[in-house]
Amino acid sequence: MAARRAVQSTPVTASRALAFICLIAALHGLFFIWYQRPDWTTQWPDQEGYRRLGEVLATTGQFTRFPDAPAFVPEVLRTPAYPIFVALVYRVFGTHQIAVALAQTALFSVVCLVVYAIGRRVASERIAWLAAMATALFPPIPYFAALVMTEVWTTVLFTASMYLAVGLVIGARPRSASSFLLLGFLLGVTTLSRPAFVLFPFALAAVGVIVLPLLRVAERPRATRWALMLAAFAITMLPWFTYNYVTLGRFTLSPAGGIGRGLWEGSWQATWSGRLQNELTHLADDISDRATLDARVRAVAERERQAPEPMLEYVHQWQDIRRIWATPTDPSERAIARVKADHEYQRVAMQNLRRQPIAQLLRRLARGILVLWAAEIPFRYSDINALPPLLIYLCWGAQAVLVCGAVAGVIVLARRGRVAAASVLATPIVYVTAVHLPLLTEARQSLPVQPIVLLLATIAATNAIGHSLPREPQVHEREHL
């Protein structure tokens, strides 16, 4: 009788635990709304573009920042999914940042619930609770929830996609075609929120079609199912590709938001410290006279006891390319100029990389990966330069431990016979690292994958303290329909 009462009380206990986790996430998000509010209009300039697109979409239904221009001015920097979300919030609650921040705080709670659901599928109830709580307490996600930026929106979409993907590869029974179609659609919307994920569906399909058979994983989906996913992804992306082709004559993901600028900035990243490079960038932005600029840069080089030539080359390249798209004043001409500027960024970046390919690769491996996965500092941007270095190092160290724990979590899953789950959950970590390695790396680029990192790190931590996963039963290898 006691056992029966315990079983009957489990759903109530589970609901209360989930409600408590959501409460923690909501309070965490509200704290960062209060904390970030002074920076809403002074920092993170990307916010202004999203706010403008959301406002115009909400009021006119047009995807442009210049609705009053005589001719339609296409948006060449940002993809449409997140501005549509912002527009919906504006339509319902008014054009206020607080409404977007509160909506994204609610999405943060959803992320925690999805992490719990994935944890139950790949590990155990205990690990699912702990991973969901770790997500609720992880500061970088609510940090961005307070800003009108794509990070939290993309995180909830990507985490939901991973929930579907995990279920499709570890389920013992046949999975419907509609589940793969839904996965392709979700990954398409994720890509229309963060273009860097454009190749992830192909990476996931490669794991399903190539890696899982090599690892002799049983009950795996057939290649035709992954083809359905890719077809749904392509159909989801088609209207946006068509928009770019019709408005700018280019069949591309994002005309001026391509890899050109990221590749150029990546070619210089790690040449100097982040603060020094930021200082050089501001000098190039603020001083138009070349002689005055050169004198200031030489003074900086002397102060830092470094060679001035690379610094001068950096600021000259920065100014020359920026003038391409900053000079036109007509909105239509400026949109076209930004596409040209991205081409120039890419040309100059390749020129930079060809001169020192080995040195550049070593810099990227030594610093680029660290910045990508462990350099988030959840303090107001306006206060970061005043933080004690020790506090910054502690933030980096904690995140580095989490990433190492995630790698250990993949190994734990594989050793306990959960090879399919380990393979799928490792895929986004490998993918994000590979895609961003040649580009400028920022910690927020890995944020959509951090819930998976937290889940894997939780698996490793619980295993280390003696709560190991039960071994998966062995089954004969076969494909299901």
Q: How far apart are CA 452 and CA 162, in angstroms?
A: 8
Most confidently predicted of 4-18, 36-50, 189-203? 189-203
Three-class SS state of 437: coil
pLDDT band at residue 204 under the 50/70/90 scheme: very high
Whether residue 194 lies inside any domain: the answer is yes
Among 186, 289, 174, 167, which residue's Cα sits nearest to residue 229?
Answer: 186
Q: State the Cα–Cα distance between residues 110 and 100, nearest whole angstrom.
A: 15
Per the DSSP assignment, residues forming a β-bridge with 479 are 220
Q: Quick one: pLDDT at residue 45?
A: 86
In a domain, 43, yes or no: yes
Residue 150 structure tokens: 């794509």
- pLDDT of residue 3 exceeding 50: no
- Show Cβ contacts of residue 374 under 8 Å, excluding neighbours closer than 6 positions: 396, 397, 399, 400, 402, 403, 443
Task: Determine whether 222 is exposed, middle or buried from the number of CB atoms within 10 Å of its CB (0-12, 13-18, 19+).
Answer: middle
Residue 210 has pLDDT above 90, yes or no: yes
pLDDT at residue 326, rounded to an integer: 80
**Reported confidence tier of residue 342, pLDDT bands at 50, 70, 90:** confident
- Whether 291 is in a domain gets the answer no
Kindly indicate the confidence band of residue 12, based on its pLDDT and cuts at 50, 70 and 90: low
Residues 6+ apart with CB under 8 A from 256: 76, 77, 325, 335, 338, 339, 341, 342
Higher pLDDT: 384 or 158? It is 158
Distances from the Cα of 239 to the Cα of 63, 157, 162, angstroms: 13, 19, 24
The pLDDT-based confidence of 214 (bands split at 50, 70, 90) is: very high
Of 246, 145, 234, nearest in space to 191 by CA: 234
Pick the range with the lowest mean pLDDT from 81-85, 180-184, 415-419, 422-426: 415-419
Question: Is the torsion defined by CA of 87, 89, 91, 94 positive or negative?
Answer: negative
In terms of residue numbers, what domain contains 191? 2-258+376-480
Q: Return the structure tokens found at 156.
A: 């909830």
Residue 280 has pLDDT above 80, yes or no: yes
**The pTM is what?**
0.90
CB 334 within 8 A of CB 325: yes
Residue 11: how many other CB atoms lie within 10 Å: 9
Residue 447 or 385, more confident: 447
Task: Give Cβ neighbours of residue 451 (< 8 Å, ≥ 6 apart).
Answer: 111, 114, 115, 135, 141, 155, 159
Q: Provide the 3-class DSSP secondary structure of residue 193.
A: coil
Structure tokens at 97: 């940042």
321 lies in a domain?
no
Could you identify the residue written with the tokens 């003038």? 323
Across the range 381-386, mean pLDDT stands at 87
**Residue 278 belongs to some domain of the structure:** no
Q: Cα Rg for the chain, rounded, in angstroms?
A: 24
First to last CA, the chain: 42
Site of tokens 């239509």: 332
> In angstroms, rounded to a whole number, what is the distance separating the alpha carbons of residues 444 and 154?
11
Q: Is residue 77 part of a domain?
A: yes
3-state secondary structure of 149: coil
For residue 244, give the nearest of 148, 338, 155 by alpha carbon. Answer: 338
Residue 306 lies in a domain: no
Give percent of the chain above pLDDT 70.
92
Number of domains composing the chain: 1
For residue 176, CA distances in Å to 30, 200, 343 come to 40, 21, 43
Does position 477 have pLDDT exceeding 60, yes or no?
no
H or E stretch covering 220:
strand 220-221
The three-state secondary structure class of 80 is coil
330 is a domain residue? no
Q: Which of 40-44, 318-322, 399-403 has the highest mean pLDDT?
A: 399-403
CB 441, CB 138: distance < 8 Å: no
**Regarding predicted confidence, which is higher, 259 or 392?**
392
What is the structure's pLDDT at 194?
A: 92
pLDDT band for 263, please (50, 70, 90 cuts).
confident
User: Would you say residue 367 has pLDDT above 90?
Assistant: no
Alpha helices, H only, 212-330: 212-214, 223-248, 259-268, 274-286, 290-304, 308-326
> 221 forms bridges with which residues in the sheet?
480
